[in-house]
Amino acid sequence: MIGRLKGTLVYKSPPALMIDVNGVGYELDAPMSTFYDLPEVGREVTLFTHYTQKEDSVALYGFFHESERRLFRDVQKVTGIGAKIALAILSGASVDEFARLVQTGDVTALTRIPGIGKKTAERIVVELRDRAADFIGGPSSVAGKGVPADPVTEAGIALQQLGYKPAEITRMLKEAAPGDSAEDIIRKALKSVLRSG
C-alpha cells in the first residue's frame, strides 16, 4: 500500500495533481483543502495518500494533512458514501468545520455539499457523531498560490468537477475579487455555500 509520497509537484488542476517521485509520475485526486496548501508547481511536496482498487479501476488520493486522510477514510464507512462524496466533503468544509456540523447535527448545512441529500446527511450525523471529536484539531486550510491561468475559469472547472450545477457555479463565482487565485475563489465559493440558507 502507498501511504505517503514525497516528490516534485508537476501539475495541479483541481481535483487532479501529479507528483514526480524519482522519475515516476503519480497521478492523484485531492480535495480543495489540500489544494489550498500545495506549493507552486516545480516545488517539493509531501502528501499522505490513500490507495483504492476496484474491479475496473485503481485510484490514489492525496492529502496534505493526516487528519484529512482520516476523515476521508472514516466518512466512507457511512452507507452510501464513496470516494467522490468524501472528496466533496473535504472540499466543502475543513476537518474542524465538518466535525462541528456533525456534532451539532446540522443536517441542513451538510446537504449543501454536492452529493449529500437529507437522508445521507442524517446517516452521517448518526454514524459519525460519536467520533466527530476525534476529527477536531486538524490544521485549518490556508490559501496556496495560484497557477498562471484565468483563475475564475479554473475555479469554475474545479467546482463543476466537484458536482455543482452551472447555475450554482455562476452564483458562487460572484464571490471572486480582483487578484484572487483560483484556490481563493473556490474557498470563498464553498464557504458561501455552507453559510447560505
Q: Which residues of the chain are in CATH 1.10.150.20 domains?
A: 67-135
Q: Say if residue 55 is exposed, middle or buried (CB neighbours under 10 Å; 0-12, 13-18, 19+).
A: exposed
Task: Look at residue 54 in the predicted model and tell me its pLDDT.
Answer: 82
How confident is the model over 110-114, as a mean pLDDT? 86
Q: Helices 66-75 and 83-92: crossing angle, nearest 10°?
A: 130
> Which range has the worst mean pLDDT, 1-10, 148-157, 169-178, 183-192?
148-157
H runs (alpha helix) in 162-197: 166-172, 182-195
Tens digit of each residue's pLDDT (9 = 90 or more) over 145-181:
333 346 777 787 777 777 777 777 777 877 778 788 8
Is the confidence at residue 109, as pLDDT, over 80? Answer: yes
* Range list for CATH 2.40.50.140 in the chain: 4-63
In the predicted structure, residue 193 carries a pLDDT above the cut 80: no
What's the pLDDT at 72? 93
* Residue 61 and residue 49 in contact, taking contact as beta carbons nearer than 8 Å: yes
CB 185 within 8 A of CB 152: yes
pLDDT on residue 149: 47
**Third-level CATH fold of 4-63:** OB fold (Dihydrolipoamide Acetyltransferase, E2P) (2.40.50)
Across the range 113-138, mean pLDDT stands at: 80
β-pairing, 16-21 with 24-29? antiparallel
Half-sphere exposure (CA, 13 Å, Cβ side) for 150? 5
Which pLDDT score, from 0 to 100, does residue 175 have?
A: 75
pLDDT digits (tens, 9 = 90+) for 44-79: 999 999 998 888 888 999 999 888 999 999 999 988
CA distance 195 to 197: 6
Count other Cβ atoms within 10 Å, centred on residue 142: 10
pLDDT for 81 beyond 50? yes
* CATH classification for the domain delimited by 151-195, as one of 3.30.1360.10, 3.40.190.80, 3.40.30.10, 1.10.8.10: 1.10.8.10
Percent of the chain scoring above 70 in pLDDT: 90
CA separation for the pair 181, 177 (Å, rounded)? 9
CATH of domain 67-135: 1.10.150.20
Q: Look over the chain and give the mean of its residue pLDDT values, rounded to a whole number.
A: 82
What pLDDT score does 136 carry? 59
Question: What pLDDT sits at residue 139?
Answer: 39
Q: What residues does CATH 1.10.8.10 cover in the chain?
A: 151-195
